[in-house]
Amino acid sequence: MSKQADRARQFFKDLKKGPVAPIYFVHGEETYLLDRAVEAIVEAAAPEGTNDFNLDTFQGRSASGDAIRSAAEMLPMMSKRRLVVVRDMQEIPLSELGQLEDYFANPSPTTCLILHARTAQKKIDGRSGIIKKLKKAAEVCEFKALYENEIPAFLERQAARRGMRLSRQVVQYLVDAVGTDMAELEQSLEKIDLYIGAAPEGGGRQVDIDEVQEIIAHTRVRTVFDLTDALGARNYQQALLIMERMLLDGQSALVISHMISRHFRIVARLQDPALRSANNSDAARAVGVSPFFLKDYQRHARTFAPDELASILRQMLEVDVALKSSPVPDRVILELLFARICMKALPQRA
């Protein structure tokens, strides 16, 4: 388990132990855990439940700093504590958040102010003075997207809570077909749960791969294969159109980059001479994909030369760093990557 996962788990444990802090700031790329964090804070701050008198909710751009501060400074009515929840804080201009500077320095002891920010699409400038003051005043937890090798444990835990057992093959299929977004994976488990019905008396339910393939539409992996197919065909314009569609659908540039990188790592591994003669089951197991998707990876392994794949993988490392730290727009970084892959005449480095 990563240090990030350890910190997230500790955050939820601390909430149960108490005491409740006057300000919480939860932010990050993983929307599923962010939503769970807000729910857990609300439950800890108002174990008796909430009511309209003592709960105010603000949303993104429509929220003003003055209105948030006024709500937080009000006294609770027939309750121990007021709750003020601000969702999508990343959409609030820093000038508006500046109206809360005095409140951060001296928060109301009878209010729990929860600030929630989804940063997959829009980052928050941690260098700004008001964000630094917020972090100093609040209990803070960042929920980054899980690494791919952490997803199987998540799936197994969530399935066990529903009384289901997932084979390794089922887990890998879900990762390939759905992706690593925890909310979408949870929705997939919900579909499987409803489909296979109640557990037999005295035991859990074993989930078979045939059932999962029937239930789960693999739209996400089809999208990334559309993109990698376009890149493999050196079709720059088509790759740009698919990328644009993915961004409009809410996919982050960093996630798109990770999906492309994972794809080409698998393609490179399939060029190992030992795997060329292996049967499909052994080859799929060796590279960690579902046999259902193996033929697509094998096709791309025949398309790219080994030195091309090595170059692409080096570029993917540069792109990962650039998306996390460069002031250049994410879309431009991806466009440059696609150009390097699709147009051999271009230099390998920007």
In tens, the pLDDT along 4-16 reads 667 888 899 999 8
For residues 30 and 318, what is the distance between their CA atoms, to the nearest angstrom? 23
Structure token pair of residue 107? 């928060």
Least confident range from 23-27, 103-107, 205-209: namely 205-209
Q: Does the pLDDT of residue 347 top 90, yes or no?
A: no
The whole-angstrom distance between residue 279's C-alpha and the CA centroid of its chain comes to 34
SS3 140: strand
* % of the chain beyond a pLDDT of 70: 93
Q: Does the pLDDT of residue 350 top 50, yes or no?
A: no
State pLDDT tens for residues 34-54.
Answer: 999 999 999 999 988 888 889
Structure token pair of residue 112? 């729990």
> If you ran DSSP here, which 8-state letter would residue 21 be given?
P
Q: Are 73 and 45 spatial neighbours (Cβ–Cβ below 8 Å)? A: no
State pLDDT tens for residues 240-280.
Answer: 999 988 888 777 888 888 889 988 899 899 998 888 778 88
Contacting residues for 111 by C-beta, under 8 A, at least 6 apart: 22, 72, 73, 74, 76, 81, 82, 83, 84
Which uninterrupted H or E stretch holds 141? strand 139-143
Structure token pair of residue 56? 């105010």
Which residue type occupies 229? Answer: D
Residue bearing tokens 């939860």: 26
Domains of the chain by range and CATH? Answer: 3-143 (3.40.50.300), 148-215 (1.10.8.60), 219-342 (1.20.272.10)
Q: Does the pLDDT of residue 82 top 90, yes or no?
A: yes
pLDDT of residue 146: 79
pLDDT of residue 345: 38
Q: Which of 305, 312, 306, 311 is nearest to 263 (CA)?
A: 312
Q: Could you give the angle at which helices 253-269 and 291-303 cross, rounded to 10 degrees? A: 80
Give the β-pairing of 111-118 and 82-87. Answer: parallel
Q: Are 170 and 205 spatial neighbours (Cβ–Cβ below 8 Å)? A: no
For residues 280 and 286, what is the distance between their CA atoms, to the nearest angstrom? 10
> If you ran DSSP here, which 8-state letter would residue 46 be given?
-
**Which pLDDT band, with edges at 50, 70 and 90, does 130 fall under?**
very high
> If you ran DSSP here, which 8-state letter would residue 97 be given?
H
For residues 225 and 303, what is the distance between their CA atoms, to the nearest angstrom? 14
Least confident range from 118-122, 148-152, 219-223, 260-264: namely 219-223
**Residue range 233-241: mean pLDDT, rounded:** 88
Give the β-pairing of 111-118 and 55-59. Answer: unpaired
Q: Does the pLDDT of residue 19 top 70, yes or no?
A: yes
As a whole number, the mean pLDDT across the chain is 86
Give the long-range contacts of residues 339-348, CB within 8 A, separation 24 or more.
Answer: 339/236, 340/315, 341/231, 341/234, 341/239, 341/312, 341/315, 342/231, 342/234, 342/235, 342/236, 342/239, 343/234, 343/236, 344/234, 348/311, 348/314, 348/315
Whole-structure pTM over 0.75, yes or no? no
Q: Are 147 and 178 spatial neighbours (Cβ–Cβ below 8 Å)? A: no
Q: Does the pLDDT of residue 205 top 90, yes or no?
A: no
Q: Does the pLDDT of residue 349 top 50, yes or no?
A: no
Q: Does the pLDDT of residue 132 top 50, yes or no?
A: yes
Structure token pair of residue 50? 């909430």
State pLDDT tens for residues 306-339.
Answer: 998 999 999 999 998 999 888 899 999 999 999 9
Q: Are 114 and 42 spatial neighbours (Cβ–Cβ below 8 Å)? A: yes
For residues 50 and 144, what is the distance between their CA atoms, to the nearest angstrom? 29
